[in-house]
Amino acid sequence: MRASAVPSTVSSDKHCVLHKHLPYPSIHRPKKVSSNKILDFFANCPDNAFQKVRPGTDPFTVGQRFGAIARNGLKLLGVGFFASLLGGSA
């Protein structure tokens, strides 16, 4: 094995590992609208901050992008909280 082949393999492995854990851009599909303004705001937020819109639709605002981060952060907070309750009781 040549010595120059080893660093390229190592760097490509790091590249693959990095891409496995980052969210990828996906296409946003509009959701149903409710009468609650807060639920309506979060329903119109993208699923992740990097999500794209379909051609011909309005782009996401900065507020909607931050709303996606807040919504997903609250989900993660809830899962972590209940997991800690379950782990603490065992």
**From CA 41, how far away is CA 79, in angstroms rounded?**
22
Low-confidence ranges of the chain (pLDDT < 50): 1-2, 4-10
Distances (CA, A) of 56 to 7, 34, 39, 59: 45, 23, 24, 9
pTM recorded for the entire structure: 0.59
The C-alpha torsion from 74 through 65 and 22 to 33, rounded to 10°, is 70
In the block, residue with structure tokens 């901050």: 49
Amino acid at 49: A
Note the pLDDT tens digit of each residue in 18-44. Answer: 555 556 666 666 666 667 888 888 888
How high is the pLDDT of residue 16?
Answer: 53
